[in-house]
Structure 1
Amino acid sequence: MKTVLITGANRSIGLETTKQLSEKGLFVYLGSRDLAKGEEVVKELNEKGFQNIKAIQIDVTNDESVLAAKNSIEKEQGKLDILINNAGILGDIPQDPSSTSVPNIQHVFDTNFFGVIRVTQAFLDLLKKSDSPRIGNITSGLGSLTLHSDPSWKYYGINAVSYISSKAALNAFTVTLAKELKDLPFKVNSIDPGYTATDFNHHNGPGSVESAASFIIKHTLLDEDGPTGKFYSNDIEDESEESPW
């Protein structure tokens, strides 16, 4: 049975991804910054028939928390097959580039960018023990510099500098990590689940969590011939589903 760790999985897209992976027969570690909340969610899922899910405490901004989660999974499983870096924050609004404070930007980067690096580096050894290691970095279409430079783009003019720049940086990390690991059986991709109605955005957005989770899984559970170092978006109306960087 393959094992998965999903950070920020106690609600919204992360939770739905947990449910869908459980239904596919994978063992899922539901990462939650607050363990009690995570365990309550798992209890509710069990009551609804979902199995092979375990809550694990992980605060992606805290080295000790990440290391403790890594040690627990190593002790229980010996390896990790799939890492989905889903935890993310929006930050304070508004985020105009000319006035947003450096501490605000740093706060968002600590979760959305440094948090992903912290978790990924901590779990690389366990992922290398898998026959088919996969890393899905959950990003946003707002992280595309190409689209932000296009006045015809439907989200052109959004200036959430903390969030946008953190996701652009995350995409850069994805590309460089995929290149570093290209000679190993890793698949590393940036995945934008699309503009989805969740608690994150006060339930704005046309997309559903079911569609978002399905899209994440599609571009994470790849076979050995699957792509790596790509940027996929659920908002791209193209057969390739690839977003420009």
Structure 2
Amino acid sequence: MTTTLITGANKGIGYETARQLRAIGHEVILGARDIGRGQTAARELGVRFVQIDVTDDASVVAAAADISEHEGVLDVLVNNAGILGPRHESLGSISASDAEGVFQTNVLGAVRMIHAFLPILERSSAPVIVNVSSSMGSFTRTTDPTAPENSYPLPFYQASKAALNMLTLKYAEAYPAMRINVADPGGTDTDIMDHLGTQTVSEGSEAIVRLATASLTGPTSAFVGRDGHVPW
């Protein structure tokens, strides 16, 4: 059985990804920062809950120790936890402190998770890492004045996702035996999107599930959305 850990999975796309992967036979571990919400979501799905705050080193290390003790191996890590951060119409109004929380979660959170879980992933015969990013981090899309990604006043969210994309490429280069990719859920009807997205959470989870089920001959260093590859 494939053992899969998903962060930020107590609601939205993370929750739906957990539901879909469990339905196809994965042994899913639901990671969430909030213990009460995480436990409730895990009970609903019939999966195991592990508390993880991706912004806290001790929390991530404790989660890795817990999974190492109970499951012994991790086949799939889905770094889904993320925040939108502040919206700003003018770059002149933002400061470094505005960026800190966004990068702590969206970028450093993924680094913490990968660092802590690499030894457990390396025990798998087919290890997979899926970093949940966004086309908002695509340089091609954000520099195209006709693309919707060009018009959002979310500089730190977009910069954090661009950084996560580059980190994914470097991790894939460093660990060729693993399948390490970026998933773009697209504009989905979730809390993080203020329910402005047009896709359902089922549709928004498609690319993540596709990459989470990649075989040893599947893609690596890829940026994949529901409709196929997303330009860097």
TM class, shorter-chain normalised? Answer: over 0.9
Offset at 1:25?
Answer: 1.1
Q: Would you say the 8 A contact 2:134–2:161 is kept in 1? A: yes
Deviation at 1:95, TM superposition (A): 5.8
Determine the structure 1 residue equivalent to 2:217.
225
Percent of matched pairs sharing the same residue: 40
One-letter identity of the residue aligned with 2:183: I
Given the alignment, which residue of 74, 81, 84 partners 1:87? 81
Q: Which residue of 1 aligns with 2:170?
A: 176
Q: Does structure 2 retain, via aligned residues, the 8 Å contact 1:96–1:160?
A: no
**Structure-2 change in CA distance of 1:169 and 1:95 (3 Å):** farther
Number of the residue aligned with 1:155: 149
User: What is the deviation of 1:209?
Assistant: 0.3
Deviation at 1:154, TM superposition (A): 2.9
1:118 shift after superposition = 0.5
Moved over 6 A (4+): none
Q: Which moved more, 1:203-212 or 1:135-144?
A: 203-212
The one of 143, 159, 164 aligned to 2:137: 143
1:125 aligned to 119, 123, 126, which one? 119
In the TM superposition, residue 44 of structure 1 has moved relative to its aligned partner by: 2.6
Structure 1 stretches lacking a partner, 5+ long: 46-50
Quote the offset at 1:157 in angstroms.
2.4
C-alpha contact (below 8 Å) 1:20/1:214 kept by paired residues? no
In the alignment, what sits opposite 2:33?
33
Secondary structure in structure 1 of the residue aligned to 2:212: coil
The number of aligned residues is 232
Does residue 56 of the first structure (1) align with residue 50 of the second (2)?
yes
What is the alpha-carbon distance in structure 1 between the residues aligned to residue 90 and residue 173 of structure 2? 33
Cross-structure match for 1:73 = 67
Structure 2: tracts of 5 or more residues without a match = none
Of residues 98, 102, 106, the one that matches 1:104 is: 98
Deviations for 1:133-192, whole angstroms, at most 9, x for unmatched residues? 00000000000011111112133222311100000000000000001111x2x1000100
* TM-score scaled by length of structure 1: 0.91
- Amino acid aligned to 1:18: A
Q: Distance in 1 between matches of 2:146 and 2:188?
A: 21
Residues 86 and 154 in structure 2, CA contact (< 8 A), matched pair in contact too: no
Tell me the distance in 1 between the aligned counterparts of 2:89 and 2:80. Answer: 22
Partner of 2:230: 243
Secondary structure, in 3 states, of the residue corresponding to 1:219? helix
Conserved? CA contact 1:95–1:161, under 8 Å: no
